[in-house]
Structure 1
Amino acid sequence: MNQIILTFFGGLLMGLSPAPNSVFYLAWLALIPLWSNIIFSKNSLKQNLLLGLVWGIGFHGVALFWITGIHPMTWMGVPWLASLLIALFCWIFIMLWGAVLVVVWSFGMTFVKRLCNTNTFKDSLFRIILGVALWCGLEWLWSNTPLWWSSLSYTQSPNNLWILQLSKLSGFSVITASIVAINGLLAESNYYLSRNRSQSYSLLSLALSLLVLLHGLGFYLFQQPLSDTPDKAIKVGIIQGNIPNEIKLYPEGFRKAIEGYTTGYQKLASQGVDVVLTPETALPYFWNDIVQNSSFYQSILQEKIPVWLGAFGVQGNNYTNSLFTVTGDGEIISRFDKVKLVPLGEYIPFEPIFGKIINRLSPLDAHLVSGKTNQIFNTPFGRAIVGICYESAFAEHFRKQTQNGGEFIITAANNAHYSKSMPAQHHAQDIIRAIESDRYIARATNTGYSAFIEPHGRTFWISGINQYQLHFDTIYRRNTETLYVRFGDWLTKLLLISGIVLIVIKKFM
């Protein structure tokens, strides 16, 4: 029981590490109880799996508790109690999905323990390498599923910008690997403190040296000049419409949206912006309806300022969640359809099986479909990298677009569905994406946090929450290519290959 309590406490500490809390340093200690209890206790496989489940529930249960903010959904016609049950189901589901990753890691580490079962310094290092490789491999696997958000790496954003610079090398896996390695070294050092002080001190020295080295390298990268030039500048205006979901898709919401975005567009145009960016589905209409029935479209024709507009697109008998480039002449020259749809919220996984049981958590009748993965979004200001809401969690989504010539990032989100922790974590995700790709980001959200982020991850403007706001600032086009953009997540591949080689050495040599 003591092991379960201590392990759960470690998971809670990891769950408290991400935004909006400023306790990112807890992540560098939070894995110690799980590591120690799996490696150094005489547990059965079943007991170790339980410990992994407990730690995962602690981490993901706290970090993702914001999902319960979808309650109440009475505005969608869902009864209050049913709404509560749906919210709890979503929270438990994503919590357990994240916890499964930790359970699988615990399963693997049980066999690592049996393989590296001597009390030598070499076996401690073997366990560290294999533990890091396994966790990074699992995060890579989970990040390629439709349901992904809470990597260990995001615990460091937005506060630990030095360590986040390392994501330029091989993406978020560098941060995850660093956290797991330091935790493992400290757990190993603690175990040997009363058994072999020399080995304990060596492991502690290695942990502290690695921690300093990683942050030192990050600080060096953080200090590199951006060297932006005026000819690459884009003056972007952002409108944060602040239209509550409760009214967004109803007449009152339509009226408020048209009024707020039209007025905001006109004010930003008068301030000399080059382009205006709106949030995800800022105007929840199809384009033809906007042209025919809105003062917003008439303002574009009058002011002649391009706009990146969030609205619905048509794809056959279905519709898409899209961002359009509308020129000052009112013509659409590019369109990006959201690729990563939110499970249950925007589509039903395995719809032929579950579609009759689970209604999509959306008041729309038509079916939302995803966009193609190879979309190009050209604008009058150069090629843009686009992320719509949930896509901010998927690093590869941004890497591919950067590799294809994207010069700056624009993200559009709603965020009105959830509690205030979610917008903070969403902003934190975009910070990592900016650093990985070495690009500026302009991000517009419906209710917050809208922001401007530079390539080192500094946020040079951020909005308030649940407020109507207008702001303009300057971002710059960039053509740099980080190691991550060029080669992808090479570190995880290297770690997995190294792990396999170590297993072969231990098993057969």
Structure 2
Amino acid sequence: MQWKWEMVAPLFGVMLTLAFAPYDYGYAALVALVFFYSACLNRPVKRAALIGYLFGLGLFGSGIWWVYISIHDFGGADPVSSGFLTLLLVALWALFPALTAALSAKVFGMAGAWFRVLALALLWVAVEYFRGYWLLNGFPWLQIAYSQLDTPLAGYAAVSGVYGVGFLLSASAAALVEIGRGKLPPWPGLIFPGLIWGCGWILMGVQWTQAVGEPINITLVQGNIQQNLKWLPNQKLNTLTLYQQLTNRHWDSDVIIWPETSIPVFWSEVKDFYLEPLAATAREKGVDLVVSLPVEGSGGEYYNSVMTLGRTQALYHKNHLLPFGEYLPLQPLSGWVLDRLQIPLGNFAAGGDRQPLLQAGGHAFVTTICYEDAFGELVIRQVEKAAYLVNVTNDAWFGDTSQPHQHMQMARMRALETGRYLLRATNTGLTGFVLPNGKIAKQAPLYTTTTVTDSIIPMAGMTPYAQLGDQLLFAGMSLLVLAVLGISRYSSRNQGLRRKILTAARASHLV
């Protein structure tokens, strides 16, 4: 069957999705990548690209279909327009596996098995980095490293971040393919992935950071406000009352944290009658309250913000904005298209890179709003002075789908990369406490109005990844690949020279 690879490629893309939350079959990612590289072997570049594209359609079609819920159920678009935009997004992101496959087919034609293994791995994560950090402000969903939080490769997260983990997973798969095609001897070939996974298991027991203070008692509030009601004028007072009531039960905590835009009203509208009395009560009780609300700027812009009330009062404005959600890239084309489809979206301003850290419970913390927690580089820029991490978000836009689980999985990686506790307050879930090793200590169920209380320990120290960052790690991986390429070519030249000498010697003997 000439087209068997094309026929099964979408199925293996779906298999890769199953490696992520909420399915959590982490080792399925290794199997999917072995198929992906096998499909690129001895294929023309165009055919490899087609197979990669079909693989990507299976991956993103099964992995981010929940975008439809956001556009249709809460964006107000009709089913046809919602379906079209969802398919368009899936088709766009599927181009990246297609690009990886096309380039992988070229790499397989180069000399040196060990070079190919490392080059293929670097290629995979380089394409992930481009789509995850640069294109349209970045969309890092379904990067393969996140699927490895519960496998031995998680031990590398504090050393090399998501791209290092992805590099090692890809290298393991590529090595297995080279063994299967007879280009690597089975014994040393199998030692390579064995060492990778074995060292990862050892690294899981290493603690890179240390405690710097007494435990802090913290309460996370999950209001569970339905997205279609949240911004209705007649619902806002009910929302404010609910959060006040939930907070009143926990004035014995040191810190209380509300989710993203838990106050669905501009700061100027609630400052006098709501925020100031709330802050006064927090000061009286000796509690730090962390809330979130939209804030107007002095120049007419507005921000998606987090505010601390109580012993200190300060603001953090979201900096890494969500394209097509909080701002419109590719203007004026995107604005014209969305206006035709009658989909209303926000137009927020970015807060900037130089904002001071907020403080609560006597310690500074790194703040991320919504999907800012999907960017490791953003978090480690500030983590040296922070004792813990806080993420506030609202995943109600995507309903009871895999998206909240995938988002929590990405947030867990930030705790593991930095060696700090992560406190995650969400509107409808998943609200919870994440330990410095990336494990969930406590978590509220989806779509319940509740609070979660636990103690954390403020941490200090820098993991290797927090010190190096993604760019230096990419430079190191690139130098490794180039070094192996040089060794491979040197070895090939020596082998060629030896063959010539032997041939000449035999010829001379015959003469």
Matched, 1:338 2:318: yes
1:348 & 1:289 partners in 2: Cα distance? 26
Distance, in Å, in 2 between the alignment partners of 1:443 and 1:293 is 28
Change (3 A) 1:152 1:361: farther
Question: Quick check: 2:115–2:488 contact (8 Å CA) kept in 1?
Answer: no
Residue 268 of structure 1, aligned match among 243, 250, 256: 250
**Residue 358 of structure 1: which of 338, 360, 383 is its match?**
338
Matched, 1:204 2:190: yes
Q: 1:163 to 1:498 in 2, by over 3 A?
A: closer
Distance 1:179 1:111, change over 3 A: same
1:38 equivalent in structure 2: 40
Check 1:83–1:477 CA distance in 2 against 1; reply closer, same or farther (3 A cut).
Answer: farther
Cα deviation, residue 321, structure 1: 0.5
Change (3 A) 1:367 1:65: closer
Displacement after TM superposition at 1:467 (Å): 0.6
Corresponding position of 1:385:
366
Equivalent residue letter for 2:365:
A
Amino acid at match of 1:349: P
1:138 Cα shift?
2.0
TM-score where L is the length of structure 2? 0.87
Q: Which amino acid is 1:26 matched to?
A: A
- CA–CA separation in structure 2 for the residues paired with 1:132 and 1:225: 26
The runs of 5 or more residues in structure 1 that have no matched partner are: 117-122
Which amino acid letter does the alignment assign opposite residue 176 of structure 2?
A: L
Residue aligning to 1:190: 180
User: 2:291 — aligned with what?
Assistant: 309
Q: Does 1:455 align with 2:444?
A: no
Deviation digits for residues 343-397 of structure 1 (CA, Å, limit 9, x no counterpart): 1111111223322222498757x73112102222231422210110111111111
Q: How many percent of aligned residue pairs carry the same amino acid?
A: 22
* Aligned-residue RMSD, C-alpha: 2.4
Match of 2:393 in 1: 413
Which residue is equivalent to 1:18? 20
The CA deviation at 1:503 is: 4.9
Shift in Å, 1:106: 1.8
**Deviation per residue, 1:406-453 (Å, 9 max, x gap):** 221010000001033111111111110001011111110000000011
Matched, 1:156 2:174: no
- Contact 2:13–2:55 (8 Å) recurs in 1: yes
Q: Using a 3 Å threshold, how does the CA distance of structure 1 residues 463 and 155 change in structure 2: closer, same or farther?
A: same
Does the CA-based 8 Å contact 2:210-2:459 persist in structure 1?
Answer: no
TM-aligned CA distance change 1:505 to 1:93, over 3 Å: farther
Select the residue among 218, 227, 237 that pairs with 1:245.
227
Contact 1:10 1:32 in 2 (8 A): no
TM-score of the two chains, using structure 1 as the length reference: 0.87
Q: Please tell me the residue identity of whatever aligns with 1:189.
A: I
Residues 311 and 478 of structure 1: is their aligned pair in 2 closer, same or farther, counting only changes over 3 Å?
Answer: same
How many residues are paired up? 478
1:386 is paired with a residue whose SS is: strand
- For residues 84 and 340 of structure 1, the distance between their equivalents in structure 2, rounded to whole angstroms, comes to 30
Larger radius of gyration: 2
The change in CA–CA distance for 1:211 and 1:252 in structure 2 (over 3 A counts) is farther
Q: CA deviation at 1:45?
A: 1.4
Q: Which sections of structure 2, spanning at least 5 residues, go unmatched?
A: 494-511
Q: Is residue 2:69 matched to residue 1:62?
A: no
Give the conservation status (yes or no) of the 8 Å contact 1:191–1:200: no
2:187 and 2:160 map into 1 onto residues whose CA distance is 30
CA separation in 2, counterparts of 1:124 and 1:503? 10
Which of the residues 82, 99, 108 maps onto 1:104?
A: 99
Task: From the superposition, tell whether residues 282 and 18 of structure 1 become closer, same or farther in structure 2 (CA, over 3 Å).
Answer: same
For 1:439, the aligned partner's letter is: R
Give the direction of change, closer, same or farther, for the CA distance of 1:347–1:225 in structure 2 (3 Å limit): closer
Aligned to 1:120: none
Matching residue of 1:147: 138
Question: Aligned match of 1:228 in 204, 211, 219?
Answer: 211
Mapped partners of 1:205, 1:504: distance in 2: 22
